[in-house]
Amino acid sequence: MRYALWILGIFAVLAAAWFVFMREPAITNYPSAGTDLVALGDSLVFGTGATKGNDLVSLLSESMGQPIANLGISGDTTADVLARLSELDAYNPKVVIVLVGGNDYLRRVPDDTVFANLAAIIENMHRKGAIVLLVGIRGGVLNDPYAGRFEALKKRYNTAYVPDALKGLFGDKQYMSDTIHPNDAGYERLAERIAPILKDLLQ
């Protein structure tokens, strides 16, 4: 009996050590003292391809039960978003959803530049006291050099993160309005992938 208790004690200690050393680090700025939800990015944030009220931001806003400022501009690259971060001065951001990078891929912007810009965007949001919800997108058709880079950003800055958010949508006509933009059904799928993580950040 004593031996069994000793073994159980060892397992308890090992389990506690695993929890301390292997658990995910806390998300930077969580819980945030901010008040506003903001979505920052390109046409996927703006809602190109969706009918009125069925874009990503509208769907997430409805799901969260609170407004989300839509700061998406079609055609924006990471450099464009970085250059207009002063738009956030009008808000007291609690969570900023960052979804940008597709236009960089289409314009063949070097990966180092793309992720240096994303890092600068995240750092700026963190200085404002906001939580960053980083949304990953693919950086290729046959392979995805962006995947590891997004994961590295998430770990470096302890952001919330949705990997490869458009997985399974590209090339499927039931989800796409054209070759690069979702339709209403596609945005619904995208929102379903982001909403649970966003909701956790608002607890």
Assigned domain for 133 exists = yes
Assigned domain for 105 exists = yes
| Token pair of 82 as six digits | 């970085």
pLDDT reported for residue 23 = 45
Which CATH number goes with the domain that contains 172?
Answer: 3.40.50.1110
Assigned domain for 143 exists = yes
115: Cβ contacts below 8 Å, ≥ 6 apart = 149, 152, 153
- Show the domain range for 112: 28-201
pLDDT reported for residue 2 = 54
Report how many domains make up the chain: 1
Assigned domain for 43 exists = yes
pLDDT reported for residue 141 = 82
Beta strands in 73-172 (DSSP E): 93-99, 131-135, 160-162
Assigned domain for 121 exists = yes
- Residue whose pair of structure tokens reads 């995240």 in the numeric block: 122
pLDDT reported for residue 144 = 93
Q: How far apart are CA 203 and CA 200, in angstroms?
A: 5
Assigned domain for 129 exists = yes
Assigned domain for 34 exists = yes
Residue 158's Cα: distance from chain center in Å? Answer: 12
User: Which portions of the chain are predicted below pLDDT 70?
Assistant: 1-24
- Give the global pTM: 0.88
Assigned domain for 109 exists = yes
